Structures are given as structure tokens and as C-alpha cells.
Structure 1
């Protein structure tokens, strides 16, 4: 029997379970493959004894409708930046990809399907260079992988954010308030801009377009002068003013990333300092966007990614990532998948279209 290992890494995302189920169901059509899952990304491989589970019909039945991942996940213990604590208690990050690759070989796995975003696919690329037969699957609610038209989880996150925004619109109108809703988006503003268009926001602030607070004040004042009496703002967690920085704090132990969140409260204070007298309320959605039942679109996309990734394994199409391009499922080299970040381009039609709808970006 040949052995396949699945890992889910990085932040959790609606649709992860649908990919796992898609891989398992397609693999079961082949008589000589067994499918296993590593707990908490590749931590299960590192563990002694290994925390690896054999996937079965009972374990995968019906999981495509559930959020999260049955394999659990983590954004710590990245093998490219593995945390090591020295005798003085100081943490430094080292590359342990070679150790991970050797361990995968020792455990007898013939192939690996690594489900994750930009960071996870860089790990996939490193493993491939160390001789591991690896296939990547693009996962992120931020939609920030450029080698695919869409990542699963993104549409569900936008739907959750849009539903929340709709509720804030009615309470903003009732109280003549300014509502600021903070959504995820460390470096890319895809969730924010889609939510702003879907919800009819007045202002949308994204990482790619640093904003001028005075232009936001002008927009807000024009709304009140025209008798509308309320304003709704969507802001990505990584947005920043033209002469400022992102709102962040030190990440948790074991992670080399800073922790974002709180920009809505900073913006609120900046608007007050700039002369806005109207009442302002802030809402931070946070991990609500990652949880819950995936939309039908994401279930379909994730399930087909699962099937496609296993068929890539069968063909020996390693060192590549499954991709959804022009309504077709293809494979692209992992190097192409990670070499260019998928930013919202300032001159793109989605930005121009949003401005055409009257949405202000503060630029």
C-alpha cells in the first residue's frame, strides 16, 4: 500500500474539512492508497511518538459542511522558522525543513498534500527541494495567493462580514452614528473591499492604499451635511494612515508573526482628534470570519481542490499547487504560487468600480 499524508497549516478556514474529505473519497477509488493526517500541521510528524491518524470513511463522513479542520492546525512551529529556546530563555527561529523531510521519509509516506496559504506553500516548496513528493492546495480567507483566481474560505469570510455589516447599517441609521467594522486582512484588502461593495459602505480602508484622515473627515461631514446622518466604514486590520504604521503587538510565543488587531479603535480616535463630533462605535469581527459552516461555493471549490490534488499525486505532478484559473482546475509550480503576493491593485477595476459606487478609500 502507498501512503499519503495530509497536513492543514496556518489559520483555520471554512472548507478545510471539505478538502480533506475530497482527497479521501478520491483516494478510496484507488485500491493501493491509504490516507493519513498529521495533527496540527506538521507538528504531528515532529512529535514522538508521531501524532498521525489514519483517515477512514467514518472519520470523514459529512465533514464537508463543518468549519475548522478535523486535523487541527497551527500557525506556530513553521519548519522554515522553527522556534528554539536557548539556555537563557531566548527564542530564535531556525530552518528545520531538512529534519521534517527526513522524518516524513522515515515514516514511509509516498506523497504529501499540504493545505495552506502563502507561508504553507513556501514550506511545500522547501520540502520538495528536500526530495518530498508534495502537492499544495491554496487555503486562505484573505485570497492573497496570486497563482489562483480564488482560494477556498474567502467567499465564506466575505459572507460572514457582509452579514455583520448589514446589521451595523441599520443600527447606525437608527442612532445617526458612525460605525467602524474591522475585518481581517493583514497585507491584502480583499475581504474589506468585497464587504464594502456588498454592504454599501461609505468608506473602505485597505492595506494597499494608505489613507489621509482629512479626506475621511471630509467624506463624513458631507454625509451629515446632506442629511443622511450616519456613516458606515469597513477597515482591514492591516490598513494604515499615510503617515503612520499598522496597529500590531508582539505575536504569541512560538510565532514569528506580529499580531494585528485594533485598528478600528485607532481610527475612531483619529477621527475624534480631527474634529468629528458625532458618536462613533467600533466592531472587530476577528476570528468570527474563520469559523462556522462554509458557503456552498466554498464547499464545491474545496471539494474539487481535494479531488484535483490527489489526481496530481497519481500523475506524479509534484512540486506544484492545485489552482483554480479561468473556471478550470489546473496545476501551477509552487515557485509561481508564492513568488508574487496577491495585493489589491490600486488601478484595478474593483477599486475603480468601488469608487464609482461612491466608496472613499482616503487616497
Structure 2
């Protein structure tokens, strides 16, 4: 009887997910007596009746590494630790379905689970591991905010999308003598914003790790106009905030979605600049989910493939309770508990920030 591995993708979608799925399936094929299956919509595919599981055959996974999204679909609303249920009166509450989930996975005959996801998904992985499930994590996030790996696949693609958009905004800013504000994703980390500012040549880069002084931002912009440049471009991370302010966020009303929603900080900054006396015309562009979509760049395909192979080989050696990782240009693994311990913030004294300041990018500090 063949041994079976269950693969799932949780949290937000990300360029490179399909490359991981393909790599796991192709690596497993080289070992006799192994089958790879996928759970549709993270753990929801297991919990549903009837279950929604698909065999990840060679035919199903052929060529998917170049496609964005995930063939297994994904969700941020299926946490088995706090699973949403509706009462008879129409109100919602949460219950712990982990014991049911683990029992069902074992009853279905799976040797182990590979959970491809970000910080929230790997916290679920750790909880399930502590309850006795053979599980391995693969890091995924465009935000690059997992500290136990040097890079996460999807990040480079998100930066490329943002950089391409920034290049386009530079020409329209110059044509109209405007200040263009481009808002990018990243939640509480400014990695996408900082890399985009460096690649695109932004005048101002505002990130969550360095609260900005709006007067200093205006001063930097006025100085550029005084030099006769006549236009300026700003990159701002969705979680950025002024020194005396808070992040632009609001509580989600979606059932089962626990994260606060971010977005709209570009418009807030625009209003702040006008209130602070900036006379230039200002326009805003919010990239949003374009950064998550589309074909992954070559680097992300390679990194995702390496992590997928590593994940399956970790199952062969029974390295459960660990996450595949990319550290010092090597593919390795770390304990899940270490992977979720610290958030990967940008160090304001890092060489990246110093280099940005060295070429004249202002952080408003």
C-alpha cells in the first residue's frame, strides 16, 4: 500500500505556490510507493463533508510552475483552532476542530502534511504538531516578514510588479509636474516598499519601521521642486504611519478573517501633505492585489522549487515540526517554533536603509 502525503496552501495567494506543489509531486514520484494529495482551500478540504481532496498526479501538476495563484485554492478563514460556526439564531462563534482534523487526516491514511503558508499558517502548523500531527511547513508570503528564512518566494515577484508600476508612474509624474504616491503591500513590514524605492529611484520611502514626520517629507519634496525637477515620486507601505499617528487599518467584517484590513494610506498621506502646505498637484495609486497575482519571476520559481523538494525530503527523514528555509544561500530547515517566534521587521540601521539614505531617499525621519 502506498504512503500518502497531504499538501495544502493557506493564507493569501502568492506567486510561486504552484511551483512548490509541482516540486513536491515530482520529487515524490522519484520514490516508489508514495502518493501526493492536495486539500482544497487549506484545511477546509479535509474538514468538509464530503472531503475535497485531489490527487496531485503528474498530469495535474505538469507546467503549473509558471502559473500564478494556487491550483489547490487558498483561504484565510479556515483556522481549525478557531473555526467559525453559525448558531441557529444566525450569530457566529468559533470552535476548536483540531482533534477532529487530526483524526480525519490519520483516518484518511496520510503519513504527513506539508502546510505551505505564512506566519499565521505556520502557527497553525506548530499547534497541530504539538497535538501529534506529522507536519512540515513551507514559508510563503510576498511580505518577506518571516524571520527564520532569508527570503520567501513571492517577494521578488511582488517587488518586480511594484517596480514596473513605479517606472510608469515616474513618467506621468514628470509629464504633469506632480507628486505621485504609490502604495504597496507588506502589512507591518516595509520590505516591498524599500526594495521598490531602491529599484525605482523614489525620492521618499515611508515604511512602518520608521514613523515619518510630515514636515520633513514636505521639506524634501519642496527641495526637489526648488531644484527645478518639477515632479517627485513616493513609495509608501500600507502599514506606514506618521510619528504622531496610527496605521490606516480597519476591522474586517468577514466571518473567519481575523487580521485587520490595511489600505488607503496613500490617500491619508496625500491629505497630510496638502494640510502641511505642499502646493504641488498630488495623485495616488494603490497597487493592492496586483502584487499577489501573475506569473512568478524566475527567482521565485527556483526558490519555490527548492523548498518543495526540501519539504518532501524532510518527510522521508521524518523531520516533523520543522519548516523548510532559505538561509545563507542554502536550503535547510528550522523548528516551526523558531519560525514563528519573531516578526521580520526592517532594522532601521540596516545596510539597506543606510544605502537608501546614501542615495538621497528620505524616510521622513
Unaligned runs of 5+ in 1: none
Match of 1:186 in 2: 187
Q: What residue in structure 2 maps to residue 99 of structure 1?
A: 100
Cα deviation, residue 246, structure 1: 1.3
**Partner Cα separation in structure 1 for residue 145 and residue 120 of structure 2:** 11
The match for 1:267 among 254, 266, 269 is: 269
Q: Within 5 A, what are the aligned runs for 1:309-328? A: 309-328=311-330
Q: Distance in 1 between matches of 2:329 and 2:158?
A: 21
Contact 1:35/1:55 (8 A) holds in 2: yes
Q: Distance in 2 between matches of 1:303 and 1:146?
A: 20
Tell me the distance in 1 between the aligned counterparts of 2:89 and 2:360.
Answer: 56
> Which range is displaced more, 27-36 or 77-86?
77-86
Residue of 339, 342, 346 corresponding to 1:340: 342
Q: Is residue 118–residue 338 contact of structure 1 (8 Å, CA) maintained in 2? A: yes
Who is 2:140 aligned against? 139
Residue of structure 2 equivalent to 1:299: 301
Cα displacement (A) at 1:29: 0.6
Q: Which residue of 2 aligns with 1:350?
A: 352
Question: Secondary structure in 1 aligned to 2:124?
Answer: helix
Would you say the 8 A contact 1:83–1:255 is kept in 2?
A: no
Provide the C-alpha distance between the structure 1 equivalents of 2:260 and 2:335, rounded to a whole number of angstroms. 29
Secondary structure of 1:339's counterpart equals: coil
CA distance in 2, matches of 1:277, 1:81: 50
Change over 3 Å in CA distance of 1:85–1:243 after alignment to 2: farther
- Deviation of residue 349 (structure 1)? 1.1
Match of 2:257 in 1: 255
Tell me the distance in 1 between the aligned counterparts of 2:188 and 2:96: 24
Q: Distance in 1 between matches of 2:92 and 2:220?
A: 46
Report the secondary structure of 2:325's partner residue.
strand
SS of structure 2 residue aligned to 1:110: strand
CA distance in 2, matches of 1:32, 1:357: 56
2:287 to 260, 285, 288: 285
Partners of 2:125 and 2:349 in 1: how far apart?
32
**Superimposed CA distance per residue, residues 189-234 of structure 1 (whole angstroms, 9 cap, x where no aligned partner):** 0000000000000111111111111111111111111111111000
Aligned to 2:44: 43
Greater shift, 258-267 or 88-97, is seen at 88-97
How far residue 79 of structure 1 moved from its aligned partner, in angstroms, is 1.8
Ranges of 4+ aligned residues in structure 1 off by more than 4 Å:
none
Q: Which residue of 2 aligns with 1:360?
A: 362
Could you say what secondary structure the match of 1:300 adopts?
helix
Structure 1 SS opposite 2:343: coil
Aligned to 2:149: 148
1:150-205 CA distance string (max 9 Å, x none)? 10000000000000000101110111100000000111100000000000001111
Query: Contact conserved, 1:155 with 1:297, CA < 8 A, in 2?
Result: yes
- Matching residue of 2:75: 74
Task: Tell me the residue number matched to 1:209.
Answer: 210
Deviation, structure 1 residue 248? 1.8
Question: Does the 8 Å contact 1:12/1:69 carry over to 2?
Answer: yes
Q: Does 1:28 align with 2:29?
A: yes
**Residue number in structure 2 paired with 1:158:** 159
Cα displacement (A) at 1:88: 4.3
**SS of alignment partner, residue 241 of structure 1:** coil
Query: What is the TM-score normalised by the length of structure 1?
Result: 0.98
Q: Could you state the TM-score of these two structures normalised by the residue count of structure 2?
A: 0.97
Residue deviations 1:256-276 (CA, integer Å, cap 9, x gap): 112111110111011111111
Write the distance in 2 (CA, Å) between the matches of 1:273 and 1:174: 24
Alignment deviations for residues 252-295 of structure 1 (CA, whole Å, 9 cap, x no partner): 22211121111101110111111112110000000000000000
Q: Secondary structure at the match of 1:354?
A: helix
CA contact (8 A) 1:45 1:52 kept: yes
